[in-house]
Structure 1
Amino acid sequence: MEKGDSKNLVKEPDLSYGNYTYADYLTWEMEEMVELIKGKVFKKAAAAPRRIHQWLTGNLYTEMNLFLKGKQCQAYIAPFDVRLPINSKKDDKISTVVQPDICVVCDMDKLDDRGCIGAPDLVVEVLSPGNKQVELQHKYQVYEESGVKEYWLVDPEGQTLLIYTLIHGRYQASRLMTTGDIVKSSVILGFELDLEVFFAEIK
């Protein structure tokens, strides 16, 4: 994330305060990654994500990135700021800034040096014990409201994948897919993920 003048950095925001903006976010100097959802601060776990979380995230990003080479869309992996404005794109008016594990952006006008401003076309979150509530509740709401067309939830422990597809402004869930299924995206046309191969190396 791009930060401001070091003289103005804040070591620790008040987590009970619920009216922060992206302008505030830029002044925070914190060791762990944080997200801002509707003005409220959510800390990522202090410890690094579990090995398998990083393994699966990296593998899926690599597959998407290779598939998209030479195409219109681009894939990004966290840390990568995604700002989700409502009525204004000004820093002091944006109250949601998230760090999806992976996101795919097809509108290049949404990309700048600080990340993405506006809804990515596809977002992937890989669940871990410390982040399930944020992913399942808070992020689901902001992704739906902001217009993320496709939202993937990957569960390494259960070896499952669920896709929420935006239809007429509301998410509709796929069936729960697992080993033996071939996952197809309605956003990245032609991209397929063989879950038997994808989950095979979990140990």
Structure 2
Amino acid sequence: MSEHVKYKTPDDNEKVWQFNDIDLSLTYSYAHYLNWLFDDRVELIKGKVFKMSPAPSRLHQEISRNLFLPIANFLKNQPCKAYAAPFDVRFPKESKANEAIYTVLQPDICVVCDKSKLDDKGCIGAPDLVIEILSPGNNKKELLYKYQIYQEFGVKEYWVVSQSDQTVLIYSLVNGHYQPSKIYTLGEFVTSSVLPGFGLNLDEVFTDL
């Protein structure tokens, strides 16, 4: 993104009731995000507003459920917790103050093992594991930015799930950089280095779709 950007002033805390009232040429912080009262779901990526799909498709929801439930059940009575969207994950750089945070994402599923990162608003800091379910409407530029953010802030494992191809690709953080796995397809068993002992048959993720 260009470094020559116009920032919305941090003390400008007016309520915004319509998405169309946002000036997309400006750069916003989480402090502004908290004052957006419209129904449209959005994410902030380095201060720029990205509008999410109006509502996930039925297939997206079923895949999300088939991933989330086994993970959540596996984590019962363990320190790590699983969360499904909508769930705000804030990525602070120099300060955790609302007006100093310019990236807020809503991963489809995330796992957080450090409880100190959790508060009433969601998660502040990198989750240990993030799962994003791709759909035909995903913006390629948005996906690239998310990959870069997850890598930069230290998300240990990033799953990219394709509903159209019925595949899973896992990026594991090694020395600060993501290393991709093979592409897992139907009939294969997926494990996680972040969740030792957890395993998932992809046939159960994409069943009856």
Tell me the distance in 1 between the aligned counterparts of 2:169 and 2:142: 12
The whole-number CA distance in structure 2 between the counterparts of 1:30 and 1:104 is 27
Q: Tell me the equivalent position of 1:82.
A: 89
Superposed CA deviations along residues 76-126 of structure 1, whole A, max 9, x for unmatched, are 000000000111111000000000000000000000000000000000000
Aligned to 2:104: 97
Q: Which residue number corresponds to residue 139 of structure 1?
A: 146
C-alpha separation in 2, matches of 1:116 and 1:162: 24
Shift of 1:58: 1.4
Q: 1:41 aligns with which of 43, 46, 49?
A: 49
Report the CA distance between 1:30 and its aligned residue.
Answer: 1.8
Is the contact between residue 188 and residue 203 of structure 2 (CA under 8 Å) also seen in structure 1?
yes
Residues in 2 aligned to 1:106 and 1:197: alpha-carbon distance in whole angstroms: 25
Q: TM-score normalised to the size of structure 2?
A: 0.89
Q: CA RMSD in A?
A: 1.3
Number of the residue aligned with 1:30: 38
Query: When the two structures are superposed, what TM-score results if normalisation uses the length of structure 1?
Result: 0.92
Number of equivalenced pairs:
194
Shift of 1:197: 2.4
2:16 is aligned to: 10
After TM superposition, the runs of 4+ consecutive aligned structure 1 residues lying more than 2 A away are none
Select the residue among 151, 156, 159 that pairs with 2:166. Answer: 159
> Matched residues in 1 for 2:156 and 2:141: separation?
19
- Partners of 1:26 and 1:156 lie apart in 2 by 31
Partner SS for 2:28: coil
1:143-181 CA-to-partner distances (Å, cap 9, x unmatched) read 111110000010011000000001000001001110121
User: 1:9 corresponds to which letter in structure 2?
Assistant: K
Deviations 1:25-50 (CA, angstroms, capped at 9, x unpaired): 1111121110000000000123x211
- Provide structure 1 residue ranges, at least 5 long, that are not aligned to the other structure: 1-6
Give the partner amino acid of 1:117. Answer: I
On the 8 A contact 2:66/2:204 being kept in 1, the answer is: no
Q: Does 1:175 align with 2:185?
A: no
